[in-house]
Structure 1
Amino acid sequence: MAPPQPEPDDLVLITRGTLEVSGRLVDASNATLFCTVELDGRTAHAVYKPVAGERPLWDFPDGTLAGREVATYEIAQHSGLGLVPPTVLRDGPFGPGMVQLWIETDADELVDVHHPDEIPEGWRQVLVARDRTGEPVVLAHADRPDVAELAMLDVVVNNTDRKGGHVLHGPDDRAYGVDHGICLHQEPKLRTVLWGWAGEPLPESAKEKLTKLRSAVDGELGELLAEHITVAEIRALADRTDKLLAAGVFPTPTEQVRAIPWPLF
């Protein structure tokens, strides 16, 4: 009798598995399809974003949004900075597109809007505003090392759209970042809800990961990224990493760029 075959790991599963579309996420601005993926008897859920369903963006004329999602995944993988679900560029039922492992979410949010008197203990305040009735509200996020790493990942990939709904609380109690289609532009465009550490020193562990990223950009990672983004954008990634390391602190918002995306979620 042949020995049992091991289950495919997540990356192999979404790369080689058979995709079957079962629905569409209607809140997404581009075609975002919910799928089942199956390989060698193992089944999981995945998100499939076909390139054919992307709406052209005047300020992101190069490459594809799907390619930028894959590029951000590779950056996180090569640096260990932040947790992005396994993500690949492959063919699917509607042509080439981004396929990403679906992350089931815990009931507890990591980013939310609260009344000022109801901010959970251990959360960081980002923005004070008023709701439609005039009552004060506070945008805040959990004060956790894995969320802080996503904040640093946003800086180096120049994330233009880190909404609260793009930070997922997985059932393994880890924070995952998703929706990275409009990242890695060469011009400063950082818009994120994760500003809670602004101006504070970077953790030593993060400095090690940033140093690892900077080295990887000059090597294998840079070659991988060249398949998805421009030479100027790769150079800008290296520059942002150098500047963050040199500063040694989380950046603060600037007046030149709208710092928080809208809507927030």
Structure 2
Amino acid sequence: MPAPERVPPGPVTTAASGSELSGSAPAGSVTALLSEGELTVLGRIPAASNAVLHCAVVHQGRRAACVYKPVAGEQPLWDFPDGTLAQREVAAHEVCAALGWELVPPTVLREGPYGPGMVQLWIDQPEDAPEEPGAGAGTAAPGAAGAPGLVPVGRLLALADAERPAPAGWRAIGLAEVPGGGTALLVHADDARLRRLAVLDAVINNSDRKGGHLLTTADGRLYGIDHGVTFHTDDKLRTLLWGWAGEPLPDEALTALGRLAAALGEDEPLTTRLAALVTPAELAALRDRVAALLASGTHPVPSGEWPAIPWPPV
């Protein structure tokens, strides 16, 4: 039986009073809630390759919505060991926190109604038009919805004229076929938040950074989700965020990478936690990637040995 069918489907509902805790709440309080709270499945999120359940978690009078991905609902993959995607999601959050960035929602590994799995804080999405590029970077670039020749594709992504350079405030990803047999230039926003996420993806070797994995909040925060296919020992970086490829890393990224390198020392607490989530070879490869980024001082470029862009990209 395919993995998603092992968990009974159900309608996705919203917690009665919404999330009392959010990504902006103190990290310790959110972690305790997710780890120790009573988890109730509200429904299943459709169109996911693995079982993804929308839940409510309650602990000591506090309540939040969350996502629960049971290990039992993971589809087997040819290039990743079975039953390890949940651990990799938690490891991605650990590494992001060590960088000093709040780009991955609080994520824990725990028992749930369908066995062990990953539980992650739910991030509410504002129901409005696609976000303007630079919204988190202190710039004033025009939004896709109002820029001539730009067609919004989700949030922070757009299609532009393939015969011209990327418009101001946008970074080119690559050419994409569009309905009718034409070709357009796929672009992402030139946004400091996305740039940090591009660095994180290079660090954790993310092989599936799609547009649908980018979540923005009403208060201007950006989160990346779905980090199950990460930390492989081979170079598998596959992402939409190639707009800075080959360019110097910002000073803040170099500082964050230095902080992470120190936290990955042999006897450091982060190393101990990661050792329970990924293999020794994957941990060594993580250290190597951090060292390589610090040595080069530049954003990585596609290797040419692996598809550089996930498809579909959104």
Check conservation: 1:197, 1:250, Cα contact below 8 A.
Answer: yes
Q: Which residue of 1 aligns with 2:146?
A: none
Q: Which residue of 2 aligns with 1:93?
A: 113
Work out the CA distance in 1 between the residues paired with 2:115 and 2:306.
Answer: 35
Amino acid at match of 1:140: V
Amino acid at match of 2:40: E
Deviations 1:165-218 (A, max 9, x none): 111112221110100000000110000001111111101111010011111111
Matching of residue 10 in structure 1 with residue 30 in structure 2: yes
Q: Which residue of 2 aligns with 1:4?
A: none
Work out the CA distance in 1 between the residues paired with 2:32 and 2:251.
Answer: 33
Q: Kindly state the Cα deviation for residue 38 of structure 1 after the two structures are TM-superposed.
A: 1.4
Amino acid at match of 1:258: P
Matching of residue 209 in structure 1 with residue 256 in structure 2: yes
**1:110/1:196 Cα in 2 relative to 1: closer, same or farther (>3 Å)?**
farther
Number of residue equivalences: 259
Q: Which residue of 2 aligns with 1:197?
A: 244
For CA contacts below 8 A with separation 6 or more, give which structure has more relative contact order: 1
TM-score by length of 1: 0.92
**1:62/1:129 Cα in 2 relative to 1: closer, same or farther (>3 Å)?**
closer
Work out the CA distance in 2 between the residues paired with 1:146 and 1:256.
Answer: 28
| Consecutive unaligned residues in structure 1, runs of 5 or more | 1-6
Residue 187 (structure 2) aligned to one of 140, 144, 147: 140
Percent of aligned positions with the same letter in both sequences?
A: 51
Deviations 1:73-129 (A, max 9, x none): 000011114610000000111111000001112333543232429977512121122
Work out the CA distance in 2 between the residues paired with 1:260 and 1:228.
Answer: 26
Residue 196 (structure 2) aligned to one of 137, 149, 152: 149
Q: Kindly state the Cα deviation for residue 36 of structure 1 after the two structures are TM-superposed.
A: 1.1
Runs ≥4 in structure 1, deviation > 6 angstroms? 117-120
Q: Kindly state the Cα deviation for residue 41 of structure 1 after the two structures are TM-superposed.
A: 2.2
Work out the CA distance in 1 between the residues paired with 2:47 and 2:303.
Answer: 29
Q: Which residue of 2 aligns with 1:231?
A: 280
- Listed as ranges, the matches of 1:1-265 within 5 Å are 9-61=29-81, 64-81=84-101, 83-106=103-126, 107=128, 108=130, 109-116=154-161, 121-218=168-265, 219-265=268-314
Q: Which moved more, 1:187-196 or 1:32-41?
A: 32-41
TM-score by length of 2: 0.78
Q: Which moved more, 1:153-162 or 1:117-126?
A: 117-126
Work out the CA distance in 2 between the residues paired with 1:236 and 1:63.
Answer: 20
**Equivalent position SS for 1:91:** strand
